[in-house]
């Protein structure tokens, strides 16, 4: 979060590139090739729904391939026991850096789509509330699982449409969810369900 706050301050003060507090207007629309039609621009909420759905499917497939590769096994070893992984010859720093790069690339991809969807890049997206929201999604859904962040994002994205939460109230809710997830449900919803099914099977 400290790193995210540092980036936010850089963005707010680098007026020649980011336009400072005014943000950037995204004028173009993403296009794709459709057989028999040619290049088609994405317009309207229905088209964006399917584009987002395809993007989610591609992201999940990429993550599955990564986790099932030698890279994913190294990630799992570091997560379970960093010192033991180091003694087995895993370059911990290298794979942590690689994990950060992969996560940043996926976040940049999602941010690019969101910028095209809204037509505007708001510096407020880099604030502490946004960071807490993303962290709460991961912890509530279940870190270390592919389905966890998806479940967490569905819950926390739909919650403001059910309960009118703005500004400080939303930040307080995310903080409460973080505390609850850490103290009561450290595995998250998906992780707890997986553990419960494993206990029943045993």
Q: Where are the domains of the chain?
A: 25-121, 124-202
Question: Two tokens at 130?
Answer: 């946004």
Which tens digit of pLDDT belongs to each residue from 143-181? 888 888 888 888 888 877 777 666 667 777 777 877 887
Asked if 13 and 20 count as a contact pair (C-beta separation under 8 A), the reply is: yes
What pLDDT does 57 receive? 92
How much is the pTM?
Answer: 0.75
Confidence of residue 94 (pLDDT cuts 50, 70, 90): very high
Which tens digit of pLDDT belongs to each residue from 120-141? 888 777 777 777 788 888 888 8
The neighbour count for residue 36, using CB atoms within 10 Å, is 4
Contacts of 43 (CB under 8 A, 6+ apart): 29
């Amino acid at each position: 979060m400290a790193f995210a706050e540092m980036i936010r301050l850089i963005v707010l003060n680098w007026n020649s590139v980011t336009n400072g507090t005014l943000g950037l207007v995204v004028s173009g629309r993403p296009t794709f090739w459709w057989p028999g039609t040619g290049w088609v621009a994405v317009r309207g909420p229905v088209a964006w729904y399917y584009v987002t759905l395809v993007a989610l499917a591609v992201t999940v497939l990429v993550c599955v391939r990564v986790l099932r590769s030698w890279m994913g096994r190294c990630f799992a070893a570091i997560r379970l026991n960093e010192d033991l992984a180091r003694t087995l010859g895993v370059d911990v720093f290298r794979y942590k850096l690689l994990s950060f790069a992969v996560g940043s690339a996926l976040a940049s991809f999602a941010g690019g789509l969101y910028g095209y969807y809204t037509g505007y890049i708001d510096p407020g997206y880099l604030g502490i509330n946004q960071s807490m929201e993303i962290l709460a999604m991961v912890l509530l859904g279940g870190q270390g699982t592919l389905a966890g962040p998806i479940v967490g994002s569905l819950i926390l994205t739909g919650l403001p449409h059910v309960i009118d939460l703005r500004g400080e109230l939303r930040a307080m809710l995310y903080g409460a969810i973080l505390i609850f997830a850490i103290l009561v449900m450290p595995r998250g919803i998906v992780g707890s369900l997986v553990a419960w099914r494993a206990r029943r099977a045993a």
